[in-house]
Amino acid sequence: MQQMRIGAAMRSLRNGRAIHLLDIENLPASPSPTAAEVAQTMTEYLQRVPVGPLDQFVVGVNPRSLVEVGRVILGAQILTRSGPDGADSVLTETTASTCISSVSLSARETATSAIWSRG
């Protein structure tokens, strides 16, 4: 099984940092993605979206997928919520601190990853 370590355990907060909000179920189009699907999704994401060394990753997932996602994505904050659009709702409630200069929100419904920069 391939594991993806994202970032370091401790990070200093400063400008130039981005937050990546990932609905990990929607990106591979699976309500219960396997470890292989999560690894493939993260490989494709990291190839397409610029990631800095101080970036923060927040992953939304339903409780059924928590173990599979947690086995693959290391160093990310993983939030869980059950119910329809549980991962979506837990991510929308996540607020970025003022130390974050850009946000990358990724979900399959948007068809692409969108990046917003704060001025």
The number of distinct structural domains making up the chain is 1
113 inside domain: no
- pLDDT at residue 71, as a whole number: 92
- pLDDT at residue 69, as a whole number: 92
Domain that holds residue 63: 15-108
**At residue 87, does pLDDT exceed 50?**
yes
**At residue 39, does pLDDT exceed 90?**
yes
97 inside domain: yes
116 inside domain: no
User: Nearest 5°: phi and psi at 84?
Assistant: -60, 130
Q: Would the CA dihedral through 56, 60, 63, 66 be positive or negative?
A: negative
98 inside domain: yes
Mean pLDDT, the chain, rounded, equals 75
Look at residues 66, 44, 58 and name the one whose alpha carbon lies nearest to residue 90. 58
49 inside domain: yes
117 inside domain: no
| pLDDT tier for residue 10 given thresholds of 50, 70 and 90 | very low
- pLDDT at residue 4, as a whole number: 62
- pLDDT at residue 20, as a whole number: 86
